[in-house]
A and B are shown apart, each in its own frame.
Chain A
């Protein structure tokens, strides 16, 4: 460790501290090896793999239908969107034409998933910087979404509602009514989020100007999602490469240029309004039709490479499937948003204080199984 000479000639030296794997602000088993000088961070070295399951290797022995069920164990807060990514990739390979009904239902559920994920993030973001109340507010509203999921497919978190070709079941008769109830409810509650936390002076002091990531660095580090858009990098897959029903709704891509923790916070809050707007545009116009195009029991993709990306709550999830024509893929790679975002953490946190690292990590919104896969 490097020796440092302080102003009053006292010899001091850098030392390292483990943050995690059991740190409450890490939201999972992420170990950060911090090299620090006093309380200033010199280097952040993430040590991963505590929850690594080698999903990519498991995919090589599984059929395409089975792979779908592995993906919601990656980013469990975007489980529906992860499922959708694999299904879209398989459907792309099979050149299946998917009914409009499926596209619209998938989009509504994706946006509900994004809302649920952002609600949870908002709750724990407040908690990480010392505002415990946010957690209860967020979970109160998130519960309504989970109830909708439960009624739709039986699961509240790991949904498995998508299958290659469409949806496992048609929607529940109550679905439209309950989604509308939720949207009306949440529209009155979202301004509360702002009143409670967004303007709080302690919160602003903890976030404004903290952990600045410039646009050039954001691109170089390949970050995506709200982290990229908080740095002025318009990376939204829903706009750049529309999938499902995103080409038939109008919504704003929220982009802020400050690049600090507060900008990333604001992007997510404003994104929730956009998600509500997308749901409102679609919920009255779910087309009639089938919820599934039957596929063969054994799906064999043609020889070739297929790449599908979707916008999860954390950013761009890419599914790369390399098929040799068999019933199992030859190689599957998940380009997870969390992993690329994590690569920028050292750059962002360097030079800051340990307390800043906590708020930076909260604003990056890491889900560790998504990083480890």
Chain B
């Protein structure tokens, strides 16, 4: 399905979305965090979109907001999109898990939690994956400072 057809179809679902194709090779949807799970479920379940492959999950710190970028593809329909979700809450950021939709997300969400401190509601086993359980702070955030271990130029 081409990008225009995808935009047209997804618009009929009635979510509040920001759609952009600028500055990226993928069609990008930014979804409200309340809608994330329902939107992703629909992306996979609808036979016309059928995004069955989640091939990249990126945690992001945009400065004010924290969030996640999901790269999705459909193995049979051959189209690809990006879904972004963000939260302005930096103290206790929380998003819905998508690991019941794509099982690989279970690992990727643990990684995002480890480095960005975003908790995923409904995740079966959210824990520090790389760092030790008592690690202080979330290293890939932009405001993280570790004077002992970081070389700051």
Contact = CB atoms under 8 A, between A and B. Distances in A.
Do chains A and B interact in one complex?
Answer: yes
A342 B107 contact: yes
Main secondary structure of the interface of B (DSSP, over half): loop
B58 A331 contact: yes
Contacts of A57: 139-140, 150
A304 B103 contact: no
A339 B107 contact: yes
With most chain A CB atoms within 10 A of its CB, the pick from B69, B102, B107, B111 is B107
B75 A219 contact: yes
Interface residues of B, number: 36
Interface string A126-162: 0000000000000000000000000000000000000
A316 B55 contact: yes
Given A220-B102, A304-B23, A343-B107, A333 B58 contact: yes
A49 B131 contact: yes
Interface in B110-137: 111, 115, 125, 129-132
B77 interface: no
A45 B106 CA distance: 12
A274 interface: no
A343 B105 CA distance: 9
Nearest to A233: B75
Given A56-B140, A307-B26, A307-B71, A221 B103 contact: yes
B24 interface: yes
A217 B23 contact: no
A305 B106 contact: no
A164 interface: no
B130 A333 contact: no
B113 to A, nearest CB: 13
A220 B52 contact: yes
A206 interface: no
Contacts of A220: 52, 102-104
A167 B69 CA distance: 32
23 contacts: A48-B129, A48-B130, A49-B131, A49-B132, A54-B139, A56-B115, A57-B139, A217-B103, A222-B55, A224-B55, A304-B23, A305-B26, A307-B56, A320-B58, A320-B69, A322-B60, A333-B58, A335-B55, A335-B71, A340-B55, A340-B108, A342-B107, A343-B103
Interface of A: 45, 48-49, 52, 54, 56-57, 61, 217, 219-224, 233, 302-307, 316, 318, 320, 322, 331, 333, 335, 339-340, 342-344, 347, 372
